[in-house]
Amino acid sequence: MAINVIGCIFCLIQLRAAALLVIFTVLVPFTVHFVFTGIAVFIAIACNVVLVLSAMLFVVLTQYRTFAELIEVQSALVARNQSMKALSDANHEFANIDALTSLPNRRYFFGELDSLLTAQLSEGFSLGIVDLDGFKPVNDLYGHTAGDKVLAEAARRIRDVSPEYVFVARLGGDEFALLCENDSSGERLKAAAEKICEALRQPFFSLRTSVHIAGSIGVSVHQGPGNTAEHIYERADYALYYAKQNLRGNVVMFSEVHETELRDLHKMEQALWAADLKAEMHVVYQPLVDTARGQIKGFEALARWSSEILGDIQPSLFIRAAERTGIIAKLTPILLEKALRDLRHMPSDMMLSFNLSVHDLCSPQTMVSIIALVRAAGVDPARLEFEVTETAIMVDFDQACDALKLLRNLGAKIALDDFGTGYSSLIHVHRLPLDTIKIDRAFVEDIETNPTSGNLVRSIVDMSRNLGVGCIVEGVETERQVELLRGYGLVYMQGFYFGRPGTADDILKLCREGLPSYLPASGAGVHAAASRSAA
């Protein structure tokens, strides 16, 4: 019986209540019964059982305490592991998920891109970059809270219209990325991208009023080994750049033509790094004409690059390369110094117009250099007019305003170039310290055949007059355009009709000869002067 009890207690040793119940249920009646038999052997057995079960009681209590501590430690470890897992999940989400849109972030995206490159998919894959057109003005007009709502809604639309096989991520700001496996031609991603563009064109009603933006998308394809993540991403980014410049709000596939352009751009960037900028860069000037008096009002300074390696390069190309590489920070002071040197030899009533890039406006160091050059040039700052584009201003509107105010306080004038081709002109123009608005040549090209262009020009002229700022029109090439623009109230003009860009010597010659008075019925005199200037 004792052996059975001991075996039973051992089986129940982890269940203290049951083990104790067995001990006391058996021990008490067993001991009492054997003691009262009066038989010495039975009494000795009873005492022995009491001693054994007492030892068993001690073992039960000790073992249970150890077991309980073990369970507590195990429970603590489980709780700690759960806490660590929750923290790990939170860190993973923080590191890989965008908090605003709940989409995978830039880090997650490039991790996926590296995984696809490592996998060496036989069918290849495609990559797309989405950039929201017109989003920056939403931030400036309605505030960042409203901008965040638009971003979140845009992300939702992109995610909702994207097929399951398209991986969507947010790269940052108003840029998103797309990955599509088994897409060697890019057609699957292109079809999805077109749906995304269509979805983004719909009005956003997350604000008190509807907001209209769009999305441009660049797509590139990876078809085999040898390419890096940077390689395929750069090509998609270039396709996006092309879309924003030429097909805003649409999808552009990276092509062999783009490959050639990108290769040339890299060559140009390398040539810029190796160039002696002071020796190879020079400035030409195009006249700004007062058509009412038939006189030259001033000149616009235009950059030119004669590379020892590549020869003469178009300004639109090397300026973009200089901005991509950051060399523009060195280039602007060099060109301004040359222009100021030529201005000292021009008639004192002539003005000089000089273009500033977005990098100039956003760089305090460059602005300090510009102000120092103007002060050291020995010319009246009032003879200077700095031109900035709407696109450059909208990169960082507040920083641009501060930079323009510094130039205005210096005594220089400010002109808004390419007016009407940027973002939300009427919203921001009244907040800028402007002296002049330059109407973009795009409004002039078809003004002779398109009444809408004429109405737009007339509206801009009226707006300029109401704001108390001057107005200059660019891209004038025919006598008929001059007559129409004069009829809209424009006096100051610029374009090939009055003269092509020339050297400082050409400009001095033109200043000496002057322009004949403008005749509304005939621009022959002006055109003759333009021909002399071009020669």
Residues 498, 514 contacting (CB under 8 angstroms)? no
Q: Detail the DSSP E strand segments found in 110-230.
A: 125-133, 166-172, 175-181, 214-222
Closest CA to 302 of 354, 229, 258: 354
- The separation between CA 447 and the C-alpha centre of its own chain, rounded to angstroms, equals 35
Distance of CA 316 to CAs 179, 216, 267, 323, 462, Å? 32, 21, 15, 11, 31
Token pair of 227 as six digits? 């390419």
Using the structure block, give the residue that is written with the tokens 């920070």. 329
H-only helix segments in 377-430: 390-395, 397-410, 425-428
Distance of CA 475 to CAs 188, 243, 364, Å? 42, 24, 32
Using the structure block, give the residue that is written with the tokens 């057609």. 187
The set of catalytic residues is: 174
Hey, what amino acid is at 295?
A: Q
Residues 403, 367 contacting (CB under 8 angstroms)? yes
Q: Is 79 left (phi over 0), alpha (psi -120 to 50) or beta?
A: alpha
DSSP 473-484: E----SHHHHHH
